Chain A
Amino acid sequence: MTADDHTPWRTLDPRTLAVHCSWLGAPLGSLALTALATGGRLDARAWITLGAIAAVFAAVTAAGLITYRRTRYRVTADSFELRTGLFTRRQRAVPLHRVRNVDLTANPVQRLFGVTVLRAGTAGSGGGGSAGELRLEALSRPAAERLRAELLARAGADRHTDPLLASFDPRRLRFAPLTFWVFGGVFAVAGAAYRVLHGVGLEPWRIGFVRRAFEDFGDSALWLTIPLALLAIAAVGSVGAVVLYLENWWNYRLEWTDSATLGVRRGLLTTRAVAIERARLRGVVLREPLLLRAGGGATVRAVAGGLGDRDENRRRSAVLPPATRAEAVRVCGGILDGLAPDALPADRRLTPHPRRALRRRTLRGLLGVVLPVTLTLAVLGALLTPVLLYCAAGFALVAVPVVRALAHDAYRALGHAITGPLLLIRSGTFSRDTVALNRDAVLAWTFTDTPFSRRAGLVTATAAVAAGEDGYRVRDMSADEAADFADAATPGLIGEFLYRVP
Chain B
Amino acid sequence: MLRPPRHRVDPRARRWWTLQALLTFSGPALLAAAALLVLSALLFAGALPWLAPLVLAVLVVPALGYLWTMPRWRYRVHAWEVGEQAVYAAAGWYWRTRRIAPLSRVQTVDTVRGPLQQLCGLATVTVTTASTAGDVKIAGLRAADAEALADRIGAAAQLVRGDAT
**Which residues on A are within 8 Å of B, measured CB to CB?**
98, 123, 126-127, 280, 305, 443-451, 462, 464-467, 470-471, 479-480, 482-483, 492-499
Contacts and interface: CB of A to CB of B under 8 A. Distances in A.
A444 B84 CA distance: 15
Nearest to B90: A447
A444 B131 contact: yes
Contacts of B1: 479-480, 483, 498-499
A497 B88 contact: yes
Given A305-B165, A496-B85, A444 B94 contact: no
SS class, residues of chain A in contact with chain B: mixed
B100 A443 contact: no
B102 A493 contact: yes
Q: How many interface residues does chain B have, given as a range?
A: 20 to 34
13 contacts: A126-B131, A305-B130, A443-B101, A443-B129, A443-B131, A443-B134, A448-B97, A462-B133, A465-B131, A492-B85, A493-B102, A494-B2, A497-B5
Interface of B: 1-3, 5, 81, 83-86, 88, 92, 94-102, 105, 129-134, 136, 163-165
A1 B84 CA distance: 37
A497 to B, nearest CB: 5
Contact of A499 (B3, B81, B131): B3
A470 B132 CA distance: 6
B128 to A, nearest CB: 9
Nearest to B99: A446
A72 to B, nearest CB: 27
A466 to B, nearest CB: 3
Given A466-B165, A494-B88, 18 more contacts: A123-B130, A305-B165, A444-B131, A447-B97, A448-B92, A462-B133, A464-B129, A466-B129, A466-B131, A466-B134, A470-B132, A470-B133, A470-B134, A471-B133, A479-B1, A496-B84, A497-B81, A499-B2
A455 to B, nearest CB: 13
A127 B134 CA distance: 11
Given A466-B129, A466-B130, A497-B5, A446 B85 contact: no
Contacts of A467: 131
B165 A494 contact: no
A480 B1 CA distance: 6
Contact of A493 (B86, B130, B132): B86
A443 B102 contact: yes
Contacts of A445: 99-100
A298 B133 CA distance: 27
Contacts of B136: 444
A444 B101 CA distance: 4
A449 B101 CA distance: 18
Contacts of B3: 497-499
A464 B96 contact: no
Contacts of A498: 1-3
A433 to B, nearest CB: 16
